[in-house]
Amino acid sequence: MSSVCLSMEGGAAASTPAALPYYVAFSQLLGLTLVAMTGAWLGLYRGGIAWESDLQFNAHPLCMVIGLVFLQGDALLVYRVFRNEAKRTTKVLHGLLHVFALVIALVGLVAVFDYHRKKGYADLYSLHSWCGILVFVLYFVQWLVGFSFFLFPGAPFSLRSRYRPQHIFFGATIFLLSVGTALLGLKEALLFNLGDKYSAFEPEGVLANVLGLLLACFGGAVLYILTRADWKRPSQAEEQALSMDFKTLTEGDSPGSQ
Amino acid sequence: MSSVCLSMEGGAAASTPAALPYYVAFSQLLGLTLVAMTGAWLGLYRGGIAWESDLQFNAHPLCMVIGLVFLQGDALLVYRVFRNEAKRTTKVLHGLLHVFALVIALVGLVAVFDYHRKKGYADLYSLHSWCGILVFVLYFVQWLVGFSFFLFPGAPFSLRSRYRPQHIFFGATIFLLSVGTALLGLKEALLFNLGDKYSAFEPEGVLANVLGLLLACFGGAVLYILTRADWKRPSQAEEQALSMDFKTLTEGDSPGSQ
């Protein structure tokens, strides 16, 4: 019975669901439009970006949208897109994309704190900033825990399989919270910069509202691809066999698991 | 083989996962705190609620938090909480909670449009309002489609089982978008009402930030309970048997399904 399952799942690994590539392409189109539109908003209406000037602030939204929205979203999709590569390669790519996202987000954080310091503005008073710090800390912790369980060798198989669903849930939740925090930041920027002009349907306001909807749509598209049960990455025959070996080797360490 | 599965799943229906009640209780504590805190915010800092006055606006946030956050969230949890009731009873409760949520949200919508009209304020210019209208329309459409597939008799079994995963995904997404829209509205209210005082850590600002975090936590708690694979409602033996009958009866209408 178990060998039948193995060969069935091994065979399934070679195929990609027919609709998946279209959904992934759509999500990438959304993500790239999102980044381009953030750049366009900052370039057309906010004077562009320059580190050593008042325009330093503008590095913040761009870095956050690239790092904590686009790259973080793509890191979550790695297991759906690279279905037939070795598990280890996919894992390393997943971890690396998250590192890039984290570094770019850190630059975005430095930009806003540095800007506030130079201007003498208060830090961390707004809901956007509270959510932002929460997201950044959770993201960093999730990366560290994920690295030590899944990439660093030595974590027993039973521990990995118990932690995996938590890792996936918290990964998706942190991503959604990042999108929500970006929406709050966008709203904050609009109300600070436009004031009463916002209600007069100024072009900047309409552009930024569309950007907000795109942010929400990108979040929704990533979540859809991630959660569709029949699009999950199939286990490969050799991984299953390896897992069995691992399980046999490490069975002793958790008598009560499953 | 199939009768073995039936009896196993029928047996599982009688038990409730040990940790589930604690998580549900925690989510309800969060939800009730959320509603109470919204009331406290409006009562302490915004003058309370009265329909025929300037305080009419305040009915908007309270209705939306009760309807589109708390009740909508609880409607999603119905299938996890009422595990051993008849499927039909649970379904009707799920549909009814969504109707209550929709009606309360409608009152909240009327409140803000009526207030804007009396004050001569512009409608639907902000990202919050765009997201809000999107949520309300999607929620109404989801309810109608859900009703006609699952409660109205006559939808063939094959169609129901193909639509079910979409219904669940869009239900969760609309709920999360509702939470995000509430956060945007809260932020808008804070920036309009507090202005520069927000950055001075005024008590109202801190209270509202905590309210925002609670909104996000409630969203996260509902999502966690909803997505945990081993907490899904088990099929009951008699339902399975009924489904089989249905399937046999309606098999002709979709030759290519499954």
Give per-residue pLDDT as tens, A178-215: 999 999 999 999 999 999 899 999 999 999 999 999 99
User: CATH number of the domain at B21-236, please?
Assistant: 1.20.120.1770
Q: With 0-12 CB in 10 A as exposed, 13-18 as middle and 19+ as buried, what is A208?
A: buried
Q: Cβ A191–B188 below 8 Å, yes or no?
A: yes
Contact B251, B158 (CB under 8 A): yes
Pick from A169, A177, A216: CB nearest B131: A216
Mind telling me how many Å the CA of A175 is from chain B's nearest CA? 12
Task: Round to whole Å and give the CA distance between A172 and A226.
Answer: 8
Q: Do B205 and A125 touch (CB under 8 A)?
A: yes
User: Which residues of chain B, if any, have pLDDT below 70?
Assistant: 1-14, 237-258
CATH of domain A37-237: 1.20.120.1770
- Give CA–CA dist A43/A127, Å, rounded: 26
pLDDT of residue B138: 98
The confidence score (pLDDT) of residue A201 equals 95
Question: Average pLDDT in the A32-49 region?
Answer: 98
Over residues A25-38, mean pLDDT: 98
Tens digits of residue pLDDT in A169-188:
999 999 999 999 999 999 99
Asked whether the predicted pLDDT for residue A255 surpasses 50, the reply is no
Say whether pLDDT at A118 is over 70: yes
Distance from CA of A62 to the nearest CA of B (A): 19
Given a contact cutoff of 8 angstroms between Cβ atoms, the answer to whether A180 and A218 are in contact is no
Angle at A128 between CA B50 and CA A123, to 5 degrees: 115
Q: What are phi and psi of A172, to 5 degrees?
A: -65, -40
Residue A237 — very low, low, confident or very high, per pLDDT cuts 50/70/90?
low
Question: Tell me, what's the pLDDT at B238?
Answer: 52
Q: What is the pLDDT of residue A257?
A: 38
pLDDT band of A11, cuts 50, 70, 90: very low
A·B CB contacts under 8 A: 109
Q: Which residue has the tokens 């979040």?
A: A219
What is the model's pLDDT at position A242? 56
The average confidence (pLDDT) of chain A is 89
What three-state secondary structure class fits A44? helix
For B:171-230, CB contacts with A below 8 A are 173, 176-177, 179-180, 183-184, 186-188, 190-192, 198-201, 205, 208-209, 212-213, 216, 220, 223-224, 227-229
DSSP structure string for A123-150: PS-SHHHHHHHHHHHHHHHHHHHHIIII
d(CA A26, CA A34): 12
Q: Which helix (H) or strand (E) holds A94?
A: helix A87-119
Q: Which of B144, B159, B182 is nearest to B61 (CA)?
A: B182
Q: Which of B138, B187, B204, B222 to mutate to test the interface with A (most CBs of A within 10 A)?
A: B187
How confident is the model over B159-193, as pLDDT tens digits?
Answer: 999 999 999 999 999 999 999 999 999 999 999 99
How many Cα atoms within 13 Å fall on the side-chain side of residue B29? 6
In the prediction, which pLDDT does A15 show?
81
Q: Residue B154's pLDDT is what?
A: 87
Q: Does the pLDDT of residue A8 top 60, yes or no?
A: no
Decide if B51 touches A, using CB distance below 8 A: no
- Contacts of residue A125 in chain B, CB cutoff 8 Å? 198-201, 205
Note the pLDDT of residue B253.
43
Query: Residue A109 to residues A219, B136, B256: CA-CA distances in angstroms?
Result: 21, 34, 53
Please determine, for residue A22, whether its predicted confidence score (pLDDT) is greater than 50: yes
Contact A130 B199 (CB under 8 A): no
DSSP string, B82-109: --SS-HHHHHHHHHHHHHHHHHHHHHHH
Domain coordinates in residue numbering, chain B:
21-236
A125 and B192: CB-CB below 8 Å? no
DSSP B102-148: HHHHHHHHHHHHHHHHHHTPPPS-SHHHHHHHHHHHHHHHHHHHHII
Residue A238: per-residue pLDDT? 52
User: Which ipTM score applies to this complex?
Assistant: 0.89
